[in-house]
A and B are shown apart, each in its own frame.
Chain A
Amino acid sequence: MGNDDYALIRRVLAGEKDAYGLLVAHHSKSLFRVAFRITENEADADEVVQEAFLRGYRKLQDFDSRSNFGTWIYRIAMNCALDVLDKQKSQTVVPIAREYDSELPALQVADRAAGPDRLLLSREIETRRHAAMERLTPIERIAFVMRHMEERSTEEIAGALGIAPNSAKQAVFRAVQKLRQSLAPLWVRS
């Protein structure tokens, strides 16, 4: 795949624009997956994917042949996602109904066995997780998704976000702490 990608890049740089379409075909689904996990919105995820491939095409001359195109375009996609989240953050007004009050836990379930209660708990966790994710800063959100859902290392997160590894680690810590604050009231010691 790596060699194929490099051959396609050379064809694109030689003037064969349509070869880039094959690179899009190779990597668009994986980019959409991570973009959706970050934005949690189909339209935003599509926007991230398109913008990432656009930026990738324009920067293709700077692509280092020793690198992996998949990793390279993934990093670009993370930056596009960051831009989308920043834009949303500046425009979003949090609805009162979704405001979370940690002092008043909505639900406490003692028994975690399978059953209607368990389904209810899962739904509640998902609602609170989503709300908690909305409260994270864009950097924390991307760092958490990459670490927890994409299982990327701290170095990879730092590389994608263009920050120091220690900053990336701290971003993950802060994200986990915020999520814990949101979700902890749901758990009752058995």
Chain B
Amino acid sequence: MKHLTEDEMISHFYSEDLCQAEAEIHLQTCKRCAQAYEEFSQLLRSVHAPGVPRRGSEYAAQVWQSIQESLQPYRPMRKRSFFRWPQFAYAAACLLFLAGAFWAGRFWEHAHSKPSIASSEPQTKERVVLFVLDDHFDRSERLLVRLNHAGGGEDYVDFPLQAEAQQLLSDNQLYRQSAAPANDPLLNAALDHLERVLVEIANSGHELSGRDIASIQKQMNTRGLLFQIRVLRTRISEQKSNAQAARKGANI
């Protein structure tokens, strides 16, 4: 092994050498290095710290007295930190961002909601038509059912068939005219047939007897009309269901 250098001796003396054990073994085996290190360590051990003059208990007070005049008290940290420029800037930036996002959202919604309203207008109209027609057919069906059950006999029928028929007649004329351009043969035929029956009942001129009703049933085929109306109501019900499903899908 190489002899210890001066730097290695210094490191060894202060126990800061990386290979302390190795240096120790070398010092035990190498007389030359051992003697040099002994002299070196004796010399360093002879260097003592100078005696420090005593400072009494009043020393700290003296130091404090000498400096306290030039010290400015700190302001409480909370107020300072809250109104510091960077934090204020961050808060303002966040507010601006939120406001921007809000207005952008509003404009976007406004821009995209118009077409959907426009496109949903025919659907809405269709749903209203279906609802009104269903109601009309419902009332007509009930009238026809009562008419079919009242047939036969000489007794006068005591329920206001004529008044109800007159009311339904005016509605039916309106619906028939409205439905004509739709080119729906079953609907047009049913409304036409219903109108004739209603005209017959409304314009009979006297209270209807069982015989009169039976005659109307026979001549006007009210049972066939009742069947037609029930078919139409089933179809209308299906269309209403489809319209509702389409509306839910559009909302999603």
Contact = CB atoms under 8 A, between A and B. Distances in A.
A93 to B, nearest CB: 22
B174 interface: no
A37 B44 contact: no
Given A21-B61, A25-B60, A177-B6, 7 more contacts: A13-B77, A20-B64, A33-B52, A125-B47, A126-B48, A169-B16, A187-B42
Interface of A: 12-18, 20-21, 24-25, 28-29, 32-33, 36-37, 40, 42, 46, 49-50, 53-54, 57, 60-61, 122, 125-126, 129-130, 145, 147-149, 153-154, 169, 172-173, 176-177, 179-180, 183-184, 187, 189
Secondary structure class of chain A's binding surface, majority of residues: helix
A46 B62 CA distance: 10
Interface string B51-78: 0110100011101101110111111110
Interface of B: 6-7, 10-11, 14, 16, 39-40, 42-44, 46-50, 52-53, 55, 59-61, 63-64, 66-68, 70-77
B53 to A, nearest CB: 6
14 contacts: A28-B55, A28-B59, A32-B55, A32-B59, A54-B67, A57-B71, A61-B74, A129-B47, A148-B49, A172-B14, A179-B43, A183-B46, A187-B39, A187-B43
B60 A24 contact: yes
A145 to B, nearest CB: 8
Given A40-B50, A184-B43, A17 B63 contact: no
Nearest to A49: B63
A54 B70 contact: yes
Contacts, number: 105
A29 B55 contact: yes
B50 A37 contact: yes
Contact of A13 (B10, B42, B74): B74
Given A15-B76, A57-B67, A187-B43, A149 B49 contact: yes
Contacts of A24: 60, 63-64, 67
Given A54-B70, A183-B43, A21 B64 contact: yes
Contacts of A60: 74
Nearest to A35: B52
A145 B46 CA distance: 14
Among B7, B61, B64, chain A packs the most CB atoms within 10 A around the CB of: B64
A170 to B, nearest CB: 9
Contacts of A184: 43
A19 to B, nearest CB: 10
